[in-house]
Amino acid sequence: MVKKKTFSSKLFSSWKKLGPGLVTGASDDDPSGIATYSQAGAAFGLATLWTAIIAFPLMAAIQQMCARIGLVTSQGLTGTLKKHYPRPILYLMLLFSFPAIVMNIGADIAGMGAVGNLLFPAIDANYFSVLFTIILLGLIIYLPYQKIAAVLKYLCIVMLVYFIVPFLYKQDFSEILKATFIPTIKFDIDFIAIIVGILGTTISPYLFFWQASVEVEEMKNKRKHLIVNKKIIHEINQDVDFGMTVSGFVMYFIILTTGTVLFKGGIHQIDTVEQAAMALKPLAGNLAYLLFAIGVIGTGLIAIPVLSGSISYIITETFGWEQGLDKKFHEAKAFYIIIAISLLLGLSLNYIGITPIQSLIYTAILYGLTAPVLIAIILHISNNKKIMGDNVNGRLTNMLGFTAFIIMTVAAVALIYLQFSEK
C-alpha cells in the first residue's frame, strides 16, 4: 500500500512539472495536423510513416532552443528579433506568420464544427463552429494563465485516444516496422507536397513563438527570477521532450491508422477530418470512429488558444504593447483584442469561400516554406553569445537544428521546382 502511494505521488509530481512543452506538443497535433496526417495515410498508405521518426528529434531540438531563448532573454522570440536584428526581418516574419496562423485557426474551427455535427447530426456544423469559438474566447479572456495552463494540460489526456484506434483493426507488424525504419521517397509533386505539409504542420513556426513567450510567463507565474542554470534548462528540456514525444506518437498512430484502415479499404482521398472519422466507421467500427472524432475536438481546444496566443504575442511584442495571458483584460486590452480578432477571422473563412481543406493545404505548405527561414534565425540567436551568454547551443543541438533546416529547405525547394516544372 505504501509503495503504491509512493509511486502515485512520484507520478503526480512528474505530472506537475510538465507544462508548456506538453501543451506545445499536444497543440502540434491540431485538427489541421490530423487532416494532413490522415491525407498522407489515405493517399500513400504507410509510405510516410518514417517521417514521424525523423521529425521527433528535429522538432524537439528547435523547441528547446525557443524555450531557452525565452528563459535567457526574458522575452518572446519576436521581442528578441526586434531588439537584436534588423526590422525588415521582423516585419517579413510577421507578414508570413499572420495569414498562415489565421488560416490554421479557421481550419481547426471548421474541423471541430464538422466533427461536432458528426457526433450530433441534428445540429448544423456552423453552429458548432460558432459555439466553440465563443467558448474558447471566453475561456482565454476570463481565465487567468494558471487556469488556462491547467485546463490545456489536462486536455492533453484526450490525445491517448489515438494510441488505441490502430489496435481496433488487424495490423501487419512486419510491414509497419519496414515502413517505420526504411524511408520511402517518391519524386512527384503530390508526394513531395504531402511531405512538405507533414513537416510544416509538425515543425510549425507558430509553436516557435508560443514556446519562447509562454516559458517567460511560466517563470513569472512561479515568481522566479529568470536566472538560468543547468537544472532549469534540464527541466525545460525534459518538458519539451515529453511534449514532442507525445506529439510524435500521435502523428505516427494517425498515419498508421489511416494508412492501414483507409488506404487498404480503397479510400485514398481524405479532404477533411470528418471524412477521416466517417471513413473509419464502416471499416474499423463505431469505437474507432467515436474516439477519432472526440480526439479532433479535444486537440482543437488545445491548439486554438496556442495559435491565437502565438499571433497575439507576435503582434504585441512587435509594437511594444502590453501582453501576456497572466494579465487581465483591462491590463492588456490589445493582446486580448488581437486574440479575439484572430478567432473571428478564422471563423469567417468558413463563410467567404475558403474551404477547410484549402486552408489546411495552404497553411501546411506555407509553414513548410517559411519554417527554414525561422529555423535559420533561431539557430543564429541560439549561437549568439551576446544574446545567450553561456547558454548557447551545444554540438548535438546544433547538429539537429541544422539537419531540420536542411531537410525543410530541400523539401520546400523540391516542391517549388516540381510546381514550376509541371507548368
Three cell numbers, residue 176: 509497419
Query: Which domains does the chain possess?
Result: 21-421 (1.20.1740)
Look up residue 144 and give its amino acid. P
Residue 75 parent element (H or E): none
pLDDT in tens, the chain (423 residues): 444 556 555 555 555 555 666 667 666 667 777 778 888 888 898 999 999 888 888 888 998 899 889 888 888 888 888 888 888 888 887 877 888 888 888 888 888 888 888 888 888 888 999 999 998 888 888 877 666 666 665 665 655 666 776 776 677 788 889 989 988 888 787 888 888 778 877 887 888 888 888 888 777 666 555 566 677 777 788 888 888 888 888 888 889 888 888 888 887 777 666 777 777 776 666 776 777 777 778 778 878 888 898 999 999 988 889 888 778 888 889 999 999 999 999 888 877 766 655 666 667 667 777 788 889 989 999 999 988 888 888 899 999 999 999 988 887 787 677 666 655
Chain CA centroid to CA 170, Å: 29
Question: By the 8 A CB rule, do 211 and 70 touch?
Answer: yes
> CA dist 172 to 46, 127, 165, 167, Å?
11, 41, 15, 11
Q: How many CB atoms are located within 10 Å of the residue 113 CB?
A: 27
The pLDDT value recorded for residue 326 is: 76
What interhelical angle do 205-221 and 145-155 show, nearest 10?
130
* Cα(6)–Cα(222) distance, integer angstroms: 25
Cβ–Cβ under 8 Å, residues 118 and 293: yes
In sequence order, the 6+-apart residues with CB closer than 8 A to the CB of 313 are 76, 78, 209, 210, 213, 323
pLDDT at 319: 87
Per-residue pLDDT at 7: 53
Q: What is the pLDDT of residue 161?
A: 65
Coil, helix or strand for 318?
A: helix
Question: Cell for 306?
Answer: 496556442
Non-local (6+) Cβ contacts of 413 within 8 A are none
Report the alpha-carbon distance of residue 292 to residue 34 in Å, rounded: 10
Three-state DSSP class for residue 369 = helix
Residue 15 pLDDT: 54
